[in-house]
Amino acid sequence: MFVFIHRAVLASILAGGLAATPALAQTSKGDRELGQYLSSECVTCHQLSGKQSEGVPAIVGWPEDQFVAVMRAYKNRERENAVMRTIAGRLSQSDIEALAAYFGSLPKPAAP
């Protein structure tokens, strides 16, 4: 409950801030700051470092379009995985774009 109220408040603050920003300043569709905020749920399983761990794949440094497509595939139940279907099912298109912008901006780890 708290999370949703807080998120709504945060989203309106971010939207307000964004309105003041010239459109040209934005290079990606997603709101990276919102993505960073939403990512707290994801990083309980996915490593921010971009390392794979315990069968959970790395999701940093992906092209944003690809990230969005994969998340939509879970949301639309075209991809198997109960956990990711549930998580993606709760995210709006703009949440997904925000997450794509955030995770896409993180560097991949150097090759071992």
Distance, CA of 93 to CA of 57 (rounded, Å): 22
Please identify, using beta-carbon distances, which residue of 26 and 92 lies nearer to ligand HEC.
92
Please identify, using beta-carbon distances, which residue of 11 and 84 lies nearer to ligand HEC.
84
| In the block, residue with structure tokens 């998580």 | 87
Smallest distance from ligand HEC to CB 110, Å:
19
Alpha carbon distances (Å) from 111 to 5, 38, 60? 41, 28, 14
Burial pattern 89-105, b for ≥16 Cβ within 10 A else e, equals eebeeebbbbbbbbbbb
Smallest distance from ligand HEC to CB 27, Å:
20
Q: Which residues bind ligand HEC (CB under 6 A)?
A: 38, 41-42, 44-46, 55-57, 59, 67, 70-71, 79, 81, 83-84, 87, 99
Please identify, using beta-carbon distances, which residue of 99 and 101 lies nearer to ligand HEC.
99
Please identify, using beta-carbon distances, which residue of 22 and 57 lies nearer to ligand HEC.
57
Alpha carbon distances (Å) from 2 to 6, 8, 9, 24? 6, 10, 11, 34
Smallest distance from ligand HEC to CB 66, Å:
9
Smallest distance from ligand HEC to CB 111, Å:
17
